[in-house]
Amino acid sequence: MILPKEVCKILDIRQGDYLTVKLKGTAILLEKEETRCVFCGNEKDLQKKYGEIICSSCLEKLIKAGFESDKK
């Protein structure tokens, strides 16, 4: 599937990113699946914490900065 360049730029969709396809009535919805750390862009050692996808290195920095490690 080819998406307009402007849409990809606005939504930060890159070649190889995963999209979920859902049907809502007669509409087709595409949702980007996050596969990178929201802070540094790392694609390895990812966890969902604080409602975001975060790599272990950035999570460690957040914990050192005073964030609780058990929040989801």
For the cut 60, the answer to whether the pLDDT of residue 72 exceeds it is no
At residue 6's C-alpha, the angle toward residues 14 and 42, to 5°, is 25
pLDDT, tens digit, 9 for 90 and up, residues 25-58: 999 999 888 888 999 989 999 998 878 899 999 9
- pLDDT at residue 70, as a whole number: 54
- pLDDT at residue 45, as a whole number: 93
- pLDDT at residue 22, as a whole number: 94
Per-residue tokens: 26? 């007669």
Q: For all residues of the chain together, what is the average pLDDT?
A: 87
Per-residue tokens: 9? 């730029």
- pLDDT at residue 17, as a whole number: 85
Distances (CA, A) of 69 to 42, 45, 46: 19, 15, 14
Q: What is the mean pLDDT of residues 10-33?
A: 89
Distances (CA, A) of 7 to 17, 35, 36: 14, 18, 19
Q: Per-domain residue ranges for the chain?
A: 1-33, 35-72
